[in-house]
Structure 1
Amino acid sequence: MFRIRKEFHFSASHQLSHLREDHQCARLHGHNYIVVVELAAATLDENGFVRDYHDLKPLKAYIDDTFDHRHLNDVMEVPSTAENMAKHFYDWCKARWPETSAALVSETPKTWAEYRP
């Protein structure tokens, strides 16, 4: 299986107000997020690609327009956990690129959430 990944960045605030009051994530705070989308294929196309990285440009536009410098509680319909965001980005990408195999979201340099069906 061939796999490619592309990384995207954005900054945003959120508040996980469903958590207990003394939980640090229940307070308003922000992150410098990293989103990684992974695409996989058993064979390569006529150009030797799983998919041309240039084809992923709409994801950058979507992230910039919808998530960057936003309050995620206003953007997401579910709590804006990294896990929910990974699933959201996976679904968004899978609808456009059938080769999508996973999406990962990082809130800090040491934490990652991944959605892979």
Structure 2
Amino acid sequence: MIIYKRFGFDAAHFLPHVPEGHKCKNMHGHTYELIVYVEGVLLQPEGWVIDYADLKEAVSPILNLVDHHLLNDIPGLENPTSEILAKWLFHMIEPLVPGLKRIELKETPTSGVIYEGG
């Protein structure tokens, strides 16, 4: 079974490697939506894969690292495309959440990335 929980955070960034004149070369911000998927068996007697409160507790410190920050200032995120940010988030969350299956990171309501590790 796979369960999920949605999170949100706001952050600024710029993309230093895009061509001059590209709008994303300038600093700008996004309201990101992060969906964390966890796979596992139903634990007994609880009847769940993971307590949503435990999932929130595990993910919140990672989100505090990026929420209302300039992503480019965070080691590993010097070129914070949504793809690089998704990979970074996954690998930060993975040791804290047994059964982490994938994450979905939406940079805008219509654009995002799904990362499944690797």
**Are 1:103 and 2:106 an aligned pair?**
no
User: TM-score under structure 1 normalisation?
Assistant: 0.90
Residue identity matched to 1:96? L
* Number of equivalenced pairs: 114
**Are 1:73 and 2:72 an aligned pair?**
yes
User: TM-score under structure 2 normalisation?
Assistant: 0.89
What does residue 61 of structure 2 align with? 61
Q: Distance in 1 between matches of 2:76 and 2:104?
A: 19
Residue identity matched to 1:21? E
Describe the SS at the equivalent of 1:73: helix
> Cα RMSD between the aligned structures?
1.3
> Which one is further off, 45-54 or 90-99?
90-99
What does residue 89 of structure 1 align with? 89
Runs of 4+ aligned structure 1 residues displaced above 6 Å come to none
* Structure 1, unpaired ranges of 5+: none
What does residue 115 of structure 1 align with? 115
Deviation at 1:76, TM superposition (A): 4.3
> Could you give the per-residue CA deviations for residues 24-80 of structure 1, whole angstroms, max 9, x where no partner exists?
111111100111110012x211111111111112312331x2111110001241321
Mapped contact 2:76–2:88 kept (Cα < 8 A): no
Q: Distance in 1 between matches of 2:65 and 2:109?
A: 23
* Structure 2, unpaired ranges of 5+: none
